[in-house]
Amino acid sequence: MLGYNIAMANSEKRDRISRIEALQELWQHSRRVGKLAVTLGGKFSLKKGELEVLERAAKLHDVGKLLMIRLVSGNGSLTAKEREKLRYHPALGVLLVGLWLGSTGREVVMQHHEQPNGLGYPRGLREDQIHPLAGILAVADHYDALASDRCYRKRFKLSKVIQMLEDEAALGILNPGVVEKAVKLWGNGVR
C-alpha cells in the first residue's frame, strides 16, 4: 500500500512538472512567434496598424491551449480523439482574449491553422479565403515549432527546417509566397 501511494505521488509530481514545462514552452514559443511574425511581416507592404495586429495575434495565437494544457504536456503523441480536441484551440483563444484582439486579430488567431489546400482547421478555408496576416503567422509558427527544442524532441537542423517549410509550401500547407520570404530571411538562421 505504501509503495502504491509513493508511486501515485511520484506520478502526480511528474504530471505537475510536465504541465509546468508545457506552460513554459507555450509562453516561450508564443513570444518567439510574436517576434518572428513581425520580422516576416516587415517583408510585406503592411501598414503599422496591421503589423501591430499581427504581433498581438502571434503572441496570443495558442492561448486557447491554456485550457487544454494536459493535452499538450504529453510526449507529443496524441490519440485521434485528443487531436480532434486540440483543433478547438484557435476558437478557445478567441473566446478568451477576443475583445483584446479586435476583429482582424480574432480572424488571424482563428485562421492560424488554415491551409491554402483547404485541409486546415477549423473551417477548411482555401487560398485567398485565408487572411494574409494568418498566412504570415502560420509560417512563423511552423518555423519556430521546427527550429526550437520541444519538451518531447530536439530542434531540427536548419537545412531540414528550410526543406520542410518548402515541402509544406509545395503541398499547399503553407502559403508559398510567404515561405519564399521566410527562406530568404531565415535560410541562414535567425539573427
The residues binding Fe ion (CB under 5 A) are 62
Q: Give CA separation, 34 vs 41, 137, 173, in Å.
A: 10, 8, 21
In terms of CB distance, is 62 or 114 closer to Fe ion?
A: 62
The residue whose Cβ lies closest to Fe ion is: 62
104: closest CA among 65, 142, 141, 49? 49
What does the alpha-carbon distance between residue 189 and residue 191 come to, in Å, rounded to a whole number?
A: 6
Decide whether 62 or 107 has the Cβ nearer to Fe ion. 62
Residue 24: how many other CB atoms lie within 10 Å: 11
Output 62 or 144, the one with its CB closest to Fe ion. 62
Alpha-carbon distance of 94 to 3, in angstroms, equals: 45
Shortest separation between residue 104's beta carbon and Fe ion, angstroms: 18
Nearest approach, Cβ of 62 to Fe ion (angstroms)? 4
Look up residue 119 and give its three cell numbers.
485541409
Nearer to Fe ion, 6 or 38 (CB): 38
| Minimum distance of Fe ion from residue 124's CB (angstroms) | 16
Give min distance, CB of 89 to Fe ion, in A.
Answer: 6
